[in-house]
Structure 1
């Protein structure tokens, strides 16, 4: 490698003349890697066929043991999550507390309640639709949920009718209208399940009792609430 120094305008510049390096051929590298993999596979197969029968039985036993151990640990983890959620729902499940929650906190609480009952549930982004605070599902079952909490709430027929109309657009099986207050007496709906404060307390108590210790709750019991 040679160097030269040039002077100009009181600056010193050093430049190097490098020889070009020849790049490795990607095709050659790929061929070498392929040969290595084939050779490794051949040796592995050769070693496998030389394993005695008792070794195969032992290997199968270990794999079965690993499978059941993993299933057991996953079940324990799931049960702990159910129990942890149950304690949270029970701790914050007094009607007075629910009334004092912010709308977002109440929606998240109801979402957790649905999850505890075995549903898939999530809080939706604000979209202007009157009955889609939550989306819940279970297999082919799909429903929307509207949540209303606070002091002195009385749900009007007009609010329920808006939910009925939104069902036609969402293709949901049913809608749930859940409130810490109550509904006007003349409200009746075939497509919207009405759950007032009293019903909500009953549901929370039932869910937290049945899921104690990590047990599962039967999702469609929710539809039996009167």
Structure 2
């Protein structure tokens, strides 16, 4: 059976790197994203290697996602893999200073968009059976709080628990689920979080030798190519330079 992979948020960062890695291995791809120009450029490049279907759609738009998935041509109908990568963080202010609009955007994308995509594609993954895989891109922020993480961390805690719940529901289907939880990674994600502030973006990674999108793509490829009887439930990935801080104590 052909190996077909559905990737959300494929126009940059982890999603784009995953598309390149899996295309190089001959997987057929369904790639989604909001930026049609980037999506078409990626599909045009990778189509010289494998079959690629670009879908310019926002995971937050439930109806548009349903229509796009319902309209998948027969060549891409049965999936071996889903990478729920679409997600974002906006700002790093304390909760009392945050924008409710930004909170809404994070919840709608990181939680609801992931829910919509997963539910709509589950029948196709189950139809593949043994060896099918879902990789949900979580974050260490879902496990370890930090100042300014507030709603973003909450959305990634949802990803972890949702992934575990899926494991329970999918028992007997052969479909595997992993919550992949990166730490400090260098990608456009951080530039978006900082509102395009290039200096702050550069300072975040200076001297840190952070994880790269290609590292995450290679990990996703490894996860999806484990023997069918193996499921990696959760996997945290940090650069060696990153670890945890001690408890904060406010003194009078």
Please state which band the TM-score falls in when normalised by the shorter chain: 0.3 to 0.5
**TM-score with structure 1 length normalisation?**
0.33
Higher relative contact order (CA 8 A, sep 6+): 2
Q: TM-score, normalised by structure 2?
A: 0.30
Higher helix share: 1
Name the structure with the higher strand share: 1
